[in-house]
Amino acid sequence: MRRSNAAARLSTLAIGLALVCACTPKSPAINLQPVELPDLTRMAPSAQKQIRERHAALIALAQNAATPTFDLSNAYGEMGKLLMAAQYGDAAERCFLNAQTLNTSDYRWPYYLAQLYRSRGDAQQSLTFFQRTLQLQPDDVATLVWLGDTNLALGRPDVAEPQFQKALTLQSSSVSARYGLGRAALARNDTPRAITLLEEVLARDPTAASAHYPLSLAYAAVGDQAKADEHLRLRANREILPADPLMVALEGLVESPQSYETQGIRALDRKDWAGAAEQFRKGLALDPDSPALHHRLGTSLSMQGDRVGAEHEFQEAVRLSPDYFLAQYSLGVLLQADGKHGEAIERFSAALRARPIYIEARLRLASSLRRTGRVADALSEYQQVLTSNADVTEARLGAAMALAQLGRYRQALDRLSAAAQVGPDRIVFSHAVARLLATAPDDRVRDGAKALALVQDLVQQGRTVELGETMAMALAEMGEFERAASVQRDLLVGARRNGLTAVAPRIAANLTRYEQRQPCRTPWTLEEMP
């Protein structure tokens, strides 16, 4: 029979009082925080059982007057770690405070407190406990980086800089320390040093995408707008974290589907596809009806090249929850890759019924609609994306290409030309303008000389196969078929040498056209469109 809420609260209070009064023979005056068992009903049964058993063991130790202070401190600390891993921050905080009270020389407890306060956005409290940690462990690199990061957040780059510098001196390979130094230099207006440090971050770890944004600001500050735009386009919110053994120790503590899912997601972030799959399978062993876990397992299998296994997991996720839009979307992606665009349209549409604001699904839907000849419908989907977010490059480009497919070349050119004026992706749009000027079937739009001039400017910023194709198209439009064919032959040799089998037939087809002294009148093939 279920106890009343009042009875449960009285029981919890009794437990809390028992822990407050618990003391050891050596320290009878120690006053401890009450540690109430939190509401565990949102957790999996396995995790509830684990936490209740650990809590019962803690109570037993606290009530035993013979328990050594050191052991009781560890018991509180370990309970705090378990609660922190389970995301019960308030209860974890009290445990860590008790552990620190009982053993003031153990750096782990103020460190976990600092991390708890950091997760709450309490920078000042976090700073206090990171400082305490550093007093106990002066050469801990993770603490130095977090301390520097906290000081930066508080607007104190002059204080943060020596902390990052010491961390880098202790561990010269630390990307996070170098990243912190770069941001500190930027905050102190030492822009050249900031650029050097942040470029080093990306050279050492190209996946450290968060470095692109401050690097964009730094290049803008020195007047290099091209590089500023490039790094702004590459920016992503991906934390650059120090190696952190204490936080890693929390992973896997809680025996719950959520815990295994979290670990699996982190493995995915590291591109450890097999490790991610292992964690998701552990989660499914505890919760076999979780559509999220089936979907994530499918994702990790897909990244390992197991298409059949991935599809099975995505199908299972949809069976369990037809409105699980992520699985519907993933099935659509697989079908799209197989060229089954009709079935893909059904999946993307299902994802959008469940989540109308899902931009990625709408873009994919537009792509499959276009490939089934429904170009006007595809244009409508692109327009919907642009209505909610006018800066989505794929939608802006896709809409212009759809207009071109519909024969509305002037409208397509106007859109592309406007997009090429500003923004981090203006190079992409400038190339699209050149392609349309070189190949549009509408004589009122086509202008080979302008197209060639644009391409020649773009080539100065980097050569690509696609840009080479556009150059050949512009030359052919101007009647220079021999030069166009020569460029195209070089592209074909390069494509075959580099294993670009998908583009080789397209290049060969245009080569034949130029050799027959015919210009190209197809701005983009279906394969070239987003």
314 pLDDT above the threshold of 80 = yes
The answer to whether 136 touches 105, Cβ cutoff 8 Å, is yes
Q: Domain-by-domain residue ranges, the chain? A: 12-228, 418-530
Higher confidence at residue 256 or residue 420? 420
Q: What band does 16 get if pLDDT is binned at 50, 70 and 90?
A: very low
Averaged pLDDT for residues 13-26? 38
Q: What band does 15 get if pLDDT is binned at 50, 70 and 90?
A: very low
7 pLDDT above the threshold of 60 = no
| pLDDT more than 90, % of the chain | 79
Max Cα-Cα span within the chain: 100
11 pLDDT above the threshold of 50 = no
Q: How remote is the C-alpha of 406 from its chain's centroid?
A: 36
Q: What band does 25 get if pLDDT is binned at 50, 70 and 90?
A: very low
Q: How remote is the C-alpha of 271 from its chain's centroid?
A: 12
Residue count of the chain: 530
pLDDT at 29: 57
pLDDT at 207: 87
| Alpha-carbon span 455 to 62, nearest angstrom | 76
Structure tokens at 120: 């709450």
14 pLDDT above the threshold of 60 = no
6 pLDDT above the threshold of 90 = no
37 pLDDT above the threshold of 50 = yes
pLDDT at 355: 95
Structure tokens at 457: 């400017």
Classify residue 393 by burial, with Cβ atoms within 10 Å: 0-12, 13-18, 19+.
Answer: middle
| Alpha-carbon span 302 to 338, nearest angstrom | 14
Class of the domain covering 12-228: mainly alpha
pLDDT per position as a tens digit, 258-271:
888 988 998 998 89
The answer to whether 175 touches 201, Cβ cutoff 8 Å, is yes
486 pLDDT above the threshold of 50 = yes
Higher confidence at residue 228 or residue 527? 228
Number of H helices, E strands in the chain: 28, 0
pLDDT at 527: 83
Q: Is the dihedral of CA 22, 27, 30, 32 positive or negative?
A: negative
pLDDT at 55: 95
pLDDT at 46: 86
| pLDDT more than 70, % of the chain | 95
Structure tokens at 69: 């202070």
pLDDT at 82: 95
The answer to whether 291 touches 324, Cβ cutoff 8 Å, is yes
Averaged pLDDT for residues 100-108? 97
Averaged pLDDT for residues 109-119? 97
Q: Which of 2-6, 43-47, 58-62 has the lowest mean pLDDT?
A: 2-6
The answer to whether 134 touches 143, Cβ cutoff 8 Å, is yes
Q: Which residues contact 186 (CB under 8 A, 6 or more apart)?
A: 194, 198, 214, 217, 218
Nearest one of 186, 187, 192, 165 to 176, comparing CA atoms = 165
12 pLDDT above the threshold of 80 = no
pLDDT per position as a tens digit, 142-197:
999 999 999 999 999 999 999 999 999 999 999 999 999 999 999 999 999 999 99
Q: Across all residues in the chain, what is the average pLDDT?
A: 91
Q: What band does 502 get if pLDDT is binned at 50, 70 and 90?
A: confident
Averaged pLDDT for residues 289-301? 97
pLDDT at 324: 97
pLDDT at 233: 85
pLDDT at 431: 95
Cα–Cα distance list, 86 to 44, 96, 258 (Å): 11, 15, 9
Higher confidence at residue 417 or residue 239? 417
| Alpha-carbon span 250 to 86, nearest angstrom | 9
4 DSSP assignment: P
Q: What band does 24 get if pLDDT is binned at 50, 70 and 90?
A: very low
Averaged pLDDT for residues 464-483? 95
pLDDT per position as a tens digit, 120-139:
999 999 999 999 999 999 99
The answer to whether 322 touches 342, Cβ cutoff 8 Å, is no
| Alpha-carbon span 187 to 181, nearest angstrom | 10
pLDDT at 61: 95
Averaged pLDDT for residues 445-451? 96
Averaged pLDDT for residues 234-244? 88
